Amino acid sequence: MRLVFSLLVIVLLSIPSALFAETKEIISEGTYNMGDGETPSVAESRALIKAKQIALEQAGTYVESYSKVKNITLTQDEIHVLASGLMEVEILDKKRTVVGDGINFWVKIKAKVNPDKMEEMAKRVKEKSVVEDYKRIQEAYEKSQKEIEKLMQQLAEAKDEKRKKNVEANIADSERLFQAYVWSYKGHQYYLNKELDNAIEAYTSAIALNEKDSMAYSGRGVAYREKGLNDKAIDDITKAIRLNPNIAINYISRGIAYDNKGQYDNAIEDYNKAVNMDPNLAWAYNERGLAYAGKGQYDKAIEDYNKAIAFNPNDIIAYCNRGVAYRKKGQYDRAIEDYNKAIAIDPKDAVAYTNRGIAYDYLGSTDKAIGDFRTGCDLGDQKGCKAFRRAETENNFRKK
């Protein structure tokens, strides 16, 4: 009887995980009434976006529930970005209907949310730039919607042919900017899914339609940077800054590219600009700390990591970075304390285990080092795998 009860408990406890392991399917519809001066292809795109927005609300609810089951801590903004990245859309049906003097476009879609990549992508949306870019893309869409409504009203009120032609020209221009927005949105989704070449192509299409699209330049720049093309990244992000010098995260993004090239002074200059624009930007302090560390100025690096942690006490990356700085200074116990904090926040952070293993190795705690390297390796850190093989080989050799 006890065995049967135990099996029943195990089955019941496994039900939530089993349920959330399944792909979520959402059916939604969107409509848009095309007015004079608008083109059918753009009108259909607007209907499709409305259907996606409705599906995104349900997808967000699913992602939020799944993240709680998996103990993934996400803000509401991060949930929306994650849902948009995971959502795969299939058009089930669409039709056009004449309504009065206009045409009504109707689209029915099936949106799928596959949780398999959710934990991996959740780490990606933790990047400050990813959430901020998503917000700006949404703001651009809302601006586009208000603009087309305003133009439709102006067209309806136009009394003479010249006025009508001017408004129609403005509608055509508004549609071009809207199409650029659609490509930027696609680029953002490709980036979230690590499809960097597709992201670059999408952002390039957005720029072709709107050469003043600062979001597309910054997005393409970040994609170039992740491909290791830091010079191209710097060129694009510099263009984004010229178009809109008031976006602090663009200075951080360019600073990272400079940092990747070993141009630490240029990087620090950009991080300083970001901090001056937003003194509460923890990300900027963290990145500036890395640049100082690159110059061997570990005390300055630690000061910046302290500031990053003060703004965000759950910043795992800042704890790991500060731990590395302490280790470089030979303060191995303090380094281990920081790695312990990082692991307490996220027990699945592979890099924290590997770094703690390195600190234990320096202290001569071989067994603890090997244990951490093994855990880091099991969690997917290749550096941990190499360290584990090396440490275990050396340990076996000493025992002979």
- Per-residue pLDDT of 110-128, as tens digits, reads 999 988 888 888 877 877 7
Helices (H), 193-296: 196-209, 214-226, 230-243, 248-260, 264-277, 282-294
Same domain, 32 and 110: yes
pLDDT confidence of residue 173: 92
The H-assigned helical ranges of 28-98 are 40-69, 76-86
Confidence (pLDDT) at 22: 81
Q: What pLDDT digit, counting tens, does each position of 332-350 carry? A: 999 999 999 999 998 989 9
pLDDT exceeds 60 at position 55: yes
Six token digits for residue 299: 């005390």
- The pLDDT, as a whole number, for residue 215 is 92
Residue 399: band (very low, low, confident or very high) from pLDDT cuts 50, 70, 90: low
Domain that holds residue 69: 22-117
- Same domain (yes/no): 184, 237: yes
**Residue 288 in domain:** no
What does pLDDT average to over the chain? 89
* Mean pLDDT, residues 138-161: 88
Q: Average pLDDT of 282-300?
A: 97
Q: Are residues 184 and 235 both part of a single domain?
A: yes
% of the chain with per-residue pLDDT over 90:
66
Query: For residue 3, what pLDDT is reported?
Result: 42
Q: Is the model's pLDDT at 11 over the cut of 50?
A: no
Query: What pLDDT, on the 0 to 100 scale, is given for residue 5?
Result: 39
Quote the tokens at residue 59: 């997808």
Judge contact between 263 and 255, C-beta under 8 A: no
Using left for φ > 0, alpha for ψ between -120 and 50, and beta otherwise, residue 24 falls in beta
Cβ-proximal residues to 281 (8 Å cutoff; 6+ apart), any chain: 128, 248, 249, 252, 274, 275, 311
**Residues linked to residue 104 through DSSP beta bridges, in sequence order:** 33, 97
Question: What sign for the dihedral angle of Cα 290, 296, 297, 302?
Answer: positive
CA distance 329 to 283: 23
Question: Residue 95: in which H helix or E strand, if any?
Answer: strand 87-99
The CATH code of the domain that includes 113 is: 3.10.129.140
* pLDDT recorded at residue 397: 53
218 and 149 assigned to the same domain? yes
CA–CA separation, 37 vs 164, rounded Å? 9
Q: Quote the pLDDT of residue 20.
A: 47
Q: Are residues 174 and 108 in the same domain?
A: no
**Residue 356 contacts by C-beta under 8 Å, 6 or more apart in sequence?**
323, 335, 336, 339, 340, 343, 372
Question: Taking residues 293-300, what's their average pLDDT?
Answer: 97
Domain boundary among 186, 216, 245: 245
Neighbours of 395 (CB within 10 A): 13
Among the ranges 4-18, 229-243, 338-352, which has the highest mean pLDDT value? Answer: 229-243
Position 265 in a domain: no
**Residue 4 falls inside a structural domain:** no
Residue 119's pLDDT is: 80
In a domain, 300, yes or no: no
In a domain? residue 305: no
Residues 78 and 154 both lie in one domain: no
Q: For 37-41, 48-52, 116-120, 327-331, which range has the lowest pLDDT when averaged over its residues?
A: 116-120
Cβ(351)–Cβ(377) below 8 Å: no
Do 325 and 364 reside in the same domain of the chain? yes
Structure-derived torsion over alpha carbons of residues 322, 325, 329, 332, reported in degrees to the nearest 10: 50
Q: What are phi and psi of 346, to 5 degrees?
A: -140, 95
Query: Do 153 and 107 share a structural domain?
Result: no
In a domain, 81, yes or no: yes
Same domain for 107 and 26: yes
Is pLDDT at 70 greater than 80 in this prediction? no
| Mean pLDDT to the nearest integer, 207-233 | 96
Counted domains in the chain: 3
Residue 260 belongs to some domain of the structure = no
Q: Which residues pair with 94 in a beta bridge?
A: 107
Between 12 and 175, where is the model more confident? Answer: 175
Q: Which CATH number belongs to the domain containing residue 177 in this structure?
A: 1.25.40.10
- The SS3 of residue 272 is helix
* The pLDDT value given to residue 8: 39
**What pLDDT does residue 115 have?**
84
Boundary-marking domain end, from 218, 245, 272: 245
Residue 128 lies in a domain: no
